[in-house]
Amino acid sequence: MGVEVTEVSLRLDELLLQFMDQLELLEDRKRTLNSLIEEGWFAISKARYAMGNKSVSALQYGSEMEPLVHVHHRALETGEVAFRTERKELQPPGGFPEEIGPKEEGMRRRKTNKPKDPTEEPQEPQQASLLKDVSRQVGGQPQPQDPLKWFGILVPQSLKQAQSNFKRVIELSAEVAALQTRLMATRREMQRSLQEKRELLTGKEEQ
Amino acid sequence: MAGRGKLIAVIGDEDTCTGFLLGGVGELNKNRKPNFLVVEKDTSITEIEETFKSFLARDDIGIILINQFIAEMIRHAIDAHMQSIPAVLEIPSKEHPYDASKDSILRRAKGMFSAEDFR
């Protein structure tokens, strides 16, 4: 019985040290995250000063928004969750010349005034859906727009600086989220070990 | 880690939302529902709480970023959320600096070391 208690106590000590390390790391990352956010605000304020008071506000947000960042997560055996961000690369401006002319490929049906033949009727919806499919494939998904463009074509350098700050904040936030879940997993493990130790000690007292 | 991945949602003041949207987290889905909420002076606590709960209920959101002063308004809802996903991160705001002693996660971690645990 005594050996078991010593083992659980050693495990608890180990978990406590691990917990403290994780807490320290989390606080450090949070400090970095917060200072990056503050730098980002400062850059936004500078951009606002350069562009005008009403030029950098919620009113300029685009009417269409496509996320450029996604978070992937993976649950680990220990109860932790690993987060990872993935950024969609935007097409460089001028990389592909804009296509002029009809975007639909393939044959187009000429409209004629021919009287409708009742035998042709069932083919119509099939052809229509075929054409629709072709146009969907060719058109594809709309390309996401750089959010900087919401605020104009020629934006000040400070707004670009703000964007790069917040891009780093987003990456770091995934790391902080992962650290938070790791900390909580260690906490649960510690609580389990504490409970185990208590049970062992009460069992010992009863004997 | 396969699949499309999840979104990052933001509940914050105008500059916080603007910054994160510049970073590329913004989305307006097919129902024109955004994954962010710009909290202004006249935004009610009920609206904030409902938005937060709707973000929790959405299965396409992986992380929720929230200004700490807004988190303080709906602290009960944040404390009640115990799942790992979506992860809730409290961040500072322009007028309210970050206070670690108010953070839900750090308070939960601190709660580990109450006298009750060392009896």
Domains in chain B and their CATH numbers? 5-107 (3.40.50.10580)
Q: Which residue of A has its CA nearest to B16?
A: A41
Distance from CA of B93 to the nearest CA of A (A): 8
Strand B7-12 versus strand B36-38 pairing type: parallel
> A189 versus A95: which is more confidently predicted?
A189
Q: Contacts of residue A176 in chain B, CB cutoff 8 Å?
A: 89
pLDDT the model gives residue A138: 43
pLDDT at residue A137, as a whole number? 45
Q: How far is B68 from chain A (nearest CA, A)?
A: 11
Which is nearest to B56 in space by CA: B92, B91, B103, B88? Answer: B88
pLDDT: which is higher, B109 or A17: A17
Smallest Cα distance from B21 to chain A, Å: 7
Residue A58 CB contacts under 8 Å (≥ 6 apart), including other chains? B14, B17, B18, B38
* Residue A142 pLDDT > 80: no
* Cβ pair A86, A70 in contact under 8 A: yes
Higher pLDDT, B84 or A104: B84
A84 strand-pairing partners: A72
Q: Among A57, A61, A86, whose Cβ lies nearest the Cβ of B5?
A: A86
* The one-letter amino acid at A138: V
Contacts of A167 in chain B (CB under 8 A): 23-24
Among A112-121, B3-12, B62-71, the minimum mean pLDDT is found in A112-121
Contact call for B23 and A61, based on CB within 8 A: no
Q: Which CATH number does A1-54+65-87+154-206 carry? A: 1.10.287
Residue B30 has pLDDT above 80, yes or no: yes
**What integer pLDDT is reported at residue B111 of this predicted model?**
72
Cα B38 from Cα B29, distance rounded (Å): 17
A163 closest CB neighbour out of B8, B23, B26: B23
pLDDT at B115 over 80: no
* Number of CB atoms found within 10 A of residue A8's CB: 19
Percent of chain A clearing pLDDT 90 (strictly above) = 37
The pair of structure tokens assigned to A149 is 């463009």
**What are the chain A neighbours of B91 within 8 Å (beta carbons)?**
33-34, 37
Higher pLDDT, A98 or A199: A199
A56: which chain B residues are within 8 Å (Cβ-Cβ)? 18
- A167's enclosing H/E stretch is helix A157-206
Residue A139 has pLDDT above 70, yes or no: no
**Hey, where are the domains in chain A?**
1-54+65-87+154-206
pLDDT level of residue A121 (50, 70, 90 thresholds): low
Per-residue pLDDT band at A94 (split at 50, 70, 90): low
Q: What is the pTM of this model?
A: 0.79
B interface with A, Cβ–Cβ < 8 A, is 1, 3-8, 14-28, 34-35, 38, 62-63, 65, 84-85, 87, 89, 91-92, 94, 98, 100, 105-106, 108-109, 112, 117
Averaged pLDDT for residues B8-31: 92
pLDDT greater than 90 at residue B21: yes
pLDDT of residue A202: 83
Count helices and strands (H / E) in chain A.
3, 2
Q: At B9, is the pLDDT very low, low, confident or very high (cuts 50, 70, 90)? A: very high
- The yes-or-no verdict on residue B29 having pLDDT over 60 is yes
Does B18 sit within 8 Å of A58, measured CB to CB?
yes
Summary mean pLDDT of chain A: 80
Asked whether the beta carbons of residue A180 and residue B112 sit closer than 8 angstroms, the reply is: no
* Residues from chain A contacting residue B104 (CB–CB below 8 Å): none
pLDDT of A143 above 50:
yes
